[in-house]
Amino acid sequence: MAIDYTKRPKPASTPPPPSVQPPAPAAAAAATPPTPQGAVSLTKAAPTVSLTKRGQSSGQLRVNLNWNARPSAPSGGFLKRAMAASSPAIDLDLGCLYELTDGSKSVVQALGGSFRNLEPGPPVVWLDGDDRSGSNSGGENLYVDLGQLARIKRILVFAFIYEGAANWAAADGVVTLFPAQGAPIEVRLDESRQGSSMCAIALLENRGGELVVNREVQFHSGQSALDQAYGWGMKWKAGRK
Looking at the domain assignment, is residue 19 inside a domain? no
Checking if the pLDDT of 175 tops 90, the result is yes
The model's pTM is: 0.78
Q: What is the pLDDT of residues 98-136, one digit of tens each?
A: 999 999 999 999 888 899 999 999 999 999 865 544 445
Percent of all residues in the chain with a pLDDT value above 70, rounded to a whole number: 70
Residue 52: CATH number of its domain:
2.60.60.30
Checking if the pLDDT of 54 tops 50, the result is yes
Looking at the domain assignment, is residue 240 inside a domain? no
Looking at the domain assignment, is residue 122 inside a domain? yes
The total number of structural domains in the chain stands at 1
Q: Which domain holds residue 218?
A: 38-235
Residue 84, phi then psi, degrees to nearest 5: -65, -40
Looking at the domain assignment, is residue 241 inside a domain? no
Per-residue model confidence (pLDDT) at position 145: 97
Looking at the domain assignment, is residue 25 inside a domain? no
Looking at the domain assignment, is residue 11 inside a domain? no
Looking at the domain assignment, is residue 187 inside a domain? yes
Q: Is 233 left (phi over 0), alpha (psi -120 to 50) or beta?
A: left
Q: What is the pLDDT of residues 176-202, one digit of tens each?
A: 999 999 999 999 987 777 778 899 999
CA distance 74 to 190: 19
Looking at the domain assignment, is residue 173 inside a domain? yes
